[in-house]
């Protein structure tokens, strides 16, 4: 990617991101980031405000229904307590001169002298004249009441598209009268500022609104007192002194109780108005910075950064910048009250980075591979792996499905696949990988027809560095390369490669040292993979041996030998094979079968080894062993133990639903459990036990047929009886 192209590409991305930003396509993400930050940037200092809320228990506390006379009483109390300003978040639209309570309330407003009442415009705020929203109608309290109010302030909100309230319109204008937002008006009155001088002192966004710094819900109770507690004088001395007191409803569903959605969840309107007042009184305003210039500058800067640095540096820069954006947006909002749109910058960075990655990968692939060799290599490798990969049939335990692969066969063929990959990639007809130890060699993997025609020992003897023989040895062998891959004092690994053809990596049909470097590059991780595959096989064998020995130890408790588990494992393998299961799944069932009775380890000897008939209570205890066994095996990541868990739990279920522990029937019993049940019962019939003698094979097959569709799956019984000769052979082998 040339530098000039990167600059042009960055500019095009800039136009795209800017277009999306201007059309509010990032708005939801911006809201998420802003809400996360504002929840950590609350008003933490002491504010000169008190919230008085009318609560549901007012009548219970005071002993009478709430009425306007209580407003009169509280205004007198606040006057006595030297409250600075009293603000109502409640409308009083009705007034009657014939109503004693109304007259008393009017006089209390007049006597208090510092009461601010709210106004509200019911129309949607759309028309603007500078910082003022122009409205066609206004609602407030009755004119007689407003006449004696010290001032009026509006309580209109400005919901974002997700209906969350994050800001308030600063001013609304009706019939040439300007109404500041309630919080602004209180700030103006407390600081004795002329209305004309305040217009430029509060930072507003492009919509003529100021953002709210919320009081944390955990701290809001610090400023709250119930209406009834005020009337009962249940507060500390000086609680209201020189404070702004805001009065509102805090009863869900009450007439004057607004519920407002905020970044902190739904809150009462009086709490949100208190936050707006706190924002203005504290001066902790939030300034929303436009990202246009930042984005333009950043587009140019990012193009330069990505032009001169490597891919790993670009990756480090990208994720570092994303983290920096999140941290700085939080820090700037909390410390300085600055909020800027980070989403366009994030999208720009990620989009540019992904484009850079895509272009880099495309360029690399274009240089390394031509279309023909890629298709050939992919096709041939796919065919080889398809022959090895045998997906294990899905099997069911309740509602869970497990899927495994024939990993052992893959592991065993790993050396061959590594060698084939090297040969296919390098255009080599034949080759082998060899380990050399104490003057003896062993072939790790070989491929092709020419290996048998060379003297391997003579070729690798005393070879310390790559050796190329670009001449015909015979009619079939045109050239040879001997490549040391790993070299230690007493142990070496070599690769011998025969008959090279021209490829996209090397245009000549002779071996070159570039070919040697390429082979060594492919071989080192391949040898590591081979070593890991061998270790996996060793671990697999150790796991299977451990499982088998554990199973034998369990069998010895109630049988003279451990041959039972050999027989049932072989029977299960045979049934699965006849069912058409893949070889790998047949092996899985065989390896899992030895643990079918692992739960018996928890059954007391006096019950397990009892020669006579079990009592009902003893029968209940012994019938718990499938659940115990499944519990012992559950939670394992091993596919063998997962299969063993299913077999242990379900091998005593019967096809007609009369088995235990859960009475499952037909296909509700996992197929592994149905196979295990048939294998286990047949071997039990033909084996001597403490409590019974064995029956002959013919009698056993007759009993199995009689239980067809009752204890056993009919299909499995048919397979089992048709395999009678093979079953007898297994029985004889492990008698």
Pick from 656, 651, 589: nearest CA to 623: 651
Rg (CA), the chain: 42
CA distances from 123 to 117, 127, 173, 185, 564 (A): 19, 11, 12, 21, 86
pLDDT of residue 398: 36
Asked whether this chain's domains 407-536 and 559-733 adopt the same fold, the reply is no
pLDDT of residue 399: 34
Q: What are phi and psi of 118, to 5 degrees?
A: -90, 155
Residues in a beta bridge with 486: 493
Is 673:660 a contact under the CB 8 Å cutoff? no
Three-state SS annotation for 641-665: HHHHHHHHHHCCCCCCCCCCCCCCC
pLDDT of residue 544: 63
Q: Quick one: how many helices (H) and strands (E) in the chain? A: 27, 23
In 395-464, which ranges are E strands? 395-397, 400-402, 428-437, 440-447
CB count, 10 Å around CB of 165? 20
Higher pLDDT, 617 or 391: 617
Instruction: Give Cα 371 to chain centroid, integer Å.
Output: 38
Q: Which two tokens stand for residue 529?
A: 């993979």
The string of pLDDT tens digits covering residues 440-486 is 888 888 888 788 878 888 888 888 888 898 888 888 888 999 988 87
Q: Would you list the DSSP string of 245-294?
A: EEEEE-STT-TT--EEEETTEEEEHHHHHHHHHHHHHHT---EEE--HHH
Q: Which two tokens stand for residue 692?
A: 């019974």
The string of pLDDT tens digits covering residues 519-570 is 877 777 767 666 665 655 556 665 666 676 666 666 655 554 457 888 888 9
CA distances from 119 to 122, 139, 334, 654 (A): 10, 6, 32, 78
Answer whether residue 318 shows pLDDT above 90: no
With cut-offs at 50, 70 and 90, classify the pLDDT of residue 397: very low
Q: What are phi and psi of 689, to 5 degrees?
A: -130, 170
Q: Which two tokens stand for residue 166?
A: 């994050």
Percent over 70 (pLDDT), the chain: 82
pLDDT of residue 370: 45
Name the class of domain 407-536.
alpha beta
pLDDT of residue 614: 82
Answer whether residue 381 shows pLDDT above 70: no
Average pLDDT across the chain, whole number: 82
**CB neighbours of 296 closer than 8 A, spacing ≥ 6?**
14
56: Cα within 13 Å, side-chain hemisphere = 3
The C-alpha atoms of residue 253 and residue 259 are separated, in whole angstroms, by 9
pLDDT of residue 313: 66
Higher pLDDT, 88 or 252: 88
The C-alpha atoms of residue 484 and residue 523 are separated, in whole angstroms, by 10
Q: Which two tokens stand for residue 290?
A: 């436009």
The string of pLDDT tens digits covering residues 89-99 is 999 999 998 89
The string of pLDDT tens digits covering residues 488-518 is 777 888 888 999 887 766 778 888 888 888 7
The string of pLDDT tens digits covering residues 663-718 is 999 999 999 999 999 998 998 888 877 667 788 888 989 999 999 999 999 999 99
Answer whether residue 71 shows pLDDT above 70: yes
- Indicate the range of 30-39, 407-416, 611-620 predicted with least confidence: 407-416
Tokens 């690399």 appear where?
A: 364
Is 318:370 a contact under the CB 8 Å cutoff? no
The C-alpha atoms of residue 690 and residue 376 are separated, in whole angstroms, by 65
Answer whether residue 584 shows pLDDT above 60: yes
CA distances from 336 to 198, 285, 286, 459 (A): 21, 9, 8, 76
With cut-offs at 50, 70 and 90, classify the pLDDT of residue 118: very high
Average pLDDT of span 395-411: 43
Axis crossing angle, helix 100-112 with helix 68-80, rounded to the nearest 10: 20
Helix (H) or strand (E) holding 331: helix 311-336
pLDDT of residue 87: 96
Higher pLDDT, 200 or 304: 200
**CB neighbours of 368 closer than 8 A, spacing ≥ 6?**
none
pLDDT of residue 5: 66
Query: Taking the domains of the chain in order of start, what are their residue ranges?
Result: 3-26+289-368, 47-283, 407-536, 559-733
pLDDT of residue 49: 94
Percent over 90 (pLDDT), the chain: 33
Average pLDDT of span 228-242: 92
**Fold exhibited by the domain 559-733:** Hypothetical protein af1432 (1.10.3210)
Determine if the peptide bond prior to 734 is cis (ω within 30°): no
């Amino acid at each position: 990617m040339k530098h000039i192209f990167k600059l042009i590409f960055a500019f095009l991305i800039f136009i795209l991101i800017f277009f999306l930003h201007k059309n509010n396509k990032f708005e939801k993400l911006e809201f998420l980031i802003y809400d996360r930050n504002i929840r950590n940037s609350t008003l933490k200092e002491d504010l000169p405000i008190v919230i008085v809320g009318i609560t549901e228990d007012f009548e219970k506390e005071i002993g009478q229904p709430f009425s306007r006379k209580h407003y009169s009483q509280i205004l007198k109390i606040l006057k006595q307590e030297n409250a600075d300003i009293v603000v109502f978040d409640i409308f009083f639209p009705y007034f009657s001169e014939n109503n004693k309570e109304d007259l008393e309330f009017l006089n209390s407003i007049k006597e208090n002298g510092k009461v601010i009442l709210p106004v509200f415009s019911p129309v949607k705020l759309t028309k603007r004249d500078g910082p003022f929203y122009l409205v066609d109608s206004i609602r407030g309290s009755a004119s007689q009441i407003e006449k004696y109010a010290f001032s009026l302030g509006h309580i209109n909100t400005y919901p974002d598209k997700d209906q969350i309230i994050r800001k308030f319109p600063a001013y609304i204008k009706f019939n040439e009268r300007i109404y500041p937002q309630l919080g602004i008006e209180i700030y103006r009155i407390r600081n004795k500022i002329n209305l004309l001088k305040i217009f430029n002192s509060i930072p507003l966004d492009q919509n003529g609104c100021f953002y709210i710094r919320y009081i944390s819900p955990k701290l809001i109770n610090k400023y709250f007192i119930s209406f009834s507690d005020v009337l009962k004088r249940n507060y500390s001395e000086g609680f209201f002194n020189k404070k702004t007191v805001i009065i509102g409803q805090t009863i869900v569903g009450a007439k004057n109780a607004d519920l407002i959605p905020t970044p902190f969840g739904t809150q009462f309107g009086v709490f949100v108005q208190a936050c707006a007042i706190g924002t203005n009184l504290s001066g902790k305003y939030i300034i929303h910075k436009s990202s246009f210039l930042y984005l333009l500058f950043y587009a140019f800067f990012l193009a330069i950064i990505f032009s001169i640095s490597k891919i790993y540096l670009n990756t480090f820069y990208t994720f570092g910048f994303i983290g920096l954006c999140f941290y700085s947006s939080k820090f700037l909002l909390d410390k300085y009250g600055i909020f800027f749109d980070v989403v366009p910058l994030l999208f720009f960075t990620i989009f540019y980075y992904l484009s850079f990655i895509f272009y880099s990968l495309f360029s690399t692939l274009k240089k390394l591979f031509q279309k023909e060799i890629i298709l050939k290599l992919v096709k041939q490798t796919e065919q080889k792996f398809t022959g090895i990969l045998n997906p294990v049939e899905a099997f069911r335990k309740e509602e869970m499905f497990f899927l495994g692969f024939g990993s052992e066969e893959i592991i065993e063929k790993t050396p061959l696949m590594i060698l084939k990959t090297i040969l296919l990639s390098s255009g080599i007809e034949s080759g082998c990988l060899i380990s050399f130890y104490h003057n003896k060699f062993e072939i790790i993997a070989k491929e092709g027809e020419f290996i048998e025609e060379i003297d391997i020992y003579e070729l690798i003897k005393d070879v310390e560095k790559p050796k190329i023989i670009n001449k015909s040895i015979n009619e079939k062998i045109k050239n040879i390369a001997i490549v040391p891959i790993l070299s230690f004092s007493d142990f070496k690994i070599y690769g011998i490669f025969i008959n090279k053809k021209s490829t996209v990596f090397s245009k000549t049909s002779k071996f070159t040292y570039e070919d040697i470097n390429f082979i060594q590059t492919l071989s080192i991780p391949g040898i590591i993979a081979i070593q890991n595959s061998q270790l996996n096989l060793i671990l697999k064998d150790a796991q299977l041996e451990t499982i088998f020995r554990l199973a034998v130890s369990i069998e010895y408790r109630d049988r003279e030998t451990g041959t039972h588990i050999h027989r049932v494992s072989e029977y299960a393998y045979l049934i699965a094979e006849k069912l058409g299961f893949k070889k790998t799944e047949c092996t899985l069932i065989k390896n899992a079968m030895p643990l079918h009775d692992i739960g018996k380890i928890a059954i007391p000897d006096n019950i397990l080894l009892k020669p006579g008939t079990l009592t009902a209570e003893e029968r209940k205890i012994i019938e718990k062993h499938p659940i115990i066994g499944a519990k012992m095996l559950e939670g394992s990541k091993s596919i063998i133990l997962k299969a063993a868990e299913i077999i242990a739990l379900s091998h005593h279920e019967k096809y007609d639903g009369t088995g235990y522990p859960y009475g499952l029937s037909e296909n509700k019993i996992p197929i592994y459990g149905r196979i295990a049940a048939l294998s286990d019962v047949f071997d039990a019939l033909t084996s001597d036990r403490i409590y019974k003698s064995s029956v002959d094979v013919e009698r056993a097959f007759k009993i199995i047929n009689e239980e067809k569709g009752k204890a056993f799956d009919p299909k499995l019984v048919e397979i089992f009886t048709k395999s009678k000769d093979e079953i007898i052979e297994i029985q004889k082998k492990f008698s």
